[in-house]
Amino acid sequence: MNNKVFGFCQGKTVLLNNISDPVFSEKMLGDGIAIYPNKKSKFITAPFDGVINLISNTKHAVGITTTAGNEFLIHIGLETVELKGEGFTPLVEINQEVKAGTPLMEVDWDIIDNHSLDKSVMLVNCDYSITAFEYHESDEVQADTVVLEF
């Protein structure tokens, strides 16, 4: 396991099988890990070096490809597509190269709370190119915390 995935927001790790949405808990989009953000978490950051390949129209999801070509999706919250971009400010552009820790998205968690939506942030390997993950659970994830290895 040579590839490290760093904390993509401050908070507590959550294994995907504990996410209330079956799309993530049953790994329909792929395997990965989630972080439940804490009050200090304002930004979603790059979990590794790579290239941005997607910013959803509703800004609740960002795609990033590793330097080795593995495709991941960062999905911010559950049912947040309903917000139609409200509360999300992209800080990067498609095809932009990023380093681990680069701020990708600013999130206004109060807006998500005001709509009573789940704030979990999921990171999934959406091209199924990775078959083995090592999860690192933590109650205090920071940008330099390794949360996953593959």
For residue 1, what pLDDT is reported?
A: 66
- Domain range for 40: 4-149
Give the total number of structural domains in the chain.
1
Q: Is the dihedral of CA 6, 76, 94, 26 positive or negative?
A: positive
**Regarding beta strands 4-6 and 43-45, do their DSSP bridges make them parallel or antiparallel, or are they unpaired?**
unpaired
Among residues 60, 75, 115, 136, which one is catalytic?
Answer: 75
What CATH code is carried by the domain that includes residue 123? 2.70.70.10
What is the value of pTM for the model shown? Answer: 0.96
pLDDT averages per 10-residue partition of the chain, 150 residues:
92 97 96 95 97 98 97 98 97 98 98 97 95 95 96
Annotation says 60 is catalytic: no
Sheet containing strand 103-107, edge to edge, reads 43-45, 103-107, 88-90
- CA–CA distance, 89 with 107 (Å, rounded to integer): 7
**Beta partners for 13?**
35
For residue 40, what pLDDT is reported?
A: 87
CA 45 to chain CA centroid, Å, is: 8
For residue 144, what pLDDT is reported?
A: 94
Per-position b or e across 1-16, b if 16+ CB within 10 A of its CB: eeeebbbbbbbebbeb
For residue 28, what pLDDT is reported?
A: 96
